[in-house]
Amino acid sequence: MGASYRQFCPVAKAMELLDERWTLLLVRELVTGSQRFNDLRRGLPRMSPSLLSKRLHQLVAAGIVDKQVEGNDVRYVLTPAGAELRQVVESVGTWGVRWIGTLGDEDLDPKLLMWDMHRNVDLSAVDDPPEVVHFVFDDVRGRSRRWWIVIEPDETDVCDIDPERPVSVTVTSGLRDLTRVWRGDTTWERAVRSGALRIEGPTTLRRAVPAWFPPTGLASVVRPA
């Protein structure tokens, strides 16, 4: 646990927990719905497993997370106290999206982007699954250049190796461009229009893609003029 501020103020008491590195991002993952250790890791790829383990213990000790073990199955679930941290995550995210527009190159991560997009696919918007969306980042070299998001009727997977299934649509762009679309800094439409992003495939499907990856909560936050 972080050092005490020695203040009775509720903000101080809360921050003793929340100002530790990674803690609120872990809560964000839990709020998003991840419950398993390795799913949490995927959302926090730069966090070491030992630190993740430590933070989970701290959150359990603080009454924010409940560790539910059933045989081999381990799940970390937010308690009522933890669930209310959603308001904190949202207010922080809203502020961040409004006032920190600039992303450094080191903030861009294809794997993380694909992981986040795939878990937010709107299955109800996909008329005729399965669909396979192939992403190509034309400014990335190596294994992270090409990705496939496979949308089944009731689940979605992401692959970094060719699943060898018929591709419905191919999306080609710079990594930063798709990231900005996903964050809501711009729209699919504007990105396509400007040439930053290309969608290839049958017209109906091309038009449907944006609906499969709908703006998440923070993406629709109004930006300052």
Partner DNA sequence: CGGTATCCCCGTCGATACTG
Partner DNA sequence: CAGTATCGACGGGGATACCG
Residues that bind a second copy (CB under 8 A): 2-15, 17-25, 28, 46, 63, 80-81, 84-85, 87-100, 103-104, 106-109, 112-113, 116, 179, 182-183, 218, 224
Q: Is 50 in the site for DNA (CB under 7 A)?
A: yes
In the bound state with DNA, the residue whose beta carbon lies nearer, of 69 and 222, is 69
The span from the CA of 197 to the CA of 189, in Å, is 9
Instruction: For residue 76, report the phi and psi dihedrals to the nearest 5 degrees.
Output: -105, 120
Q: Is 102 in the site for DNA (CB under 7 A)?
A: no
- Least Å distance, CB 48 to a second copy, is 13
Q: Is 71 in the site for DNA (CB under 7 A)?
A: no
**Phi-psi region at 43: left, alpha or beta (left = phi > 0; alpha = psi -120 to 50):** alpha
Scanning 24-32, 42-50, 77-85, 217-225 for contacts with DNA by CB under 7 A, the matching segment is 42-50
- Least Å distance, CB 10 to DNA, is 19
Range 75-79, long-range pairs (CB < 8 A, 24+ positions): 75/35, 75/36, 76/30, 76/35, 76/36, 76/37, 76/40, 77/30, 77/35, 78/27, 78/30, 78/31
- Least Å distance, CB 23 to DNA, is 8
Task: By CB under 7 A, name the binding residues for DNA.
Answer: 2-3, 20-22, 36-39, 46-51, 53, 56-57, 72-76
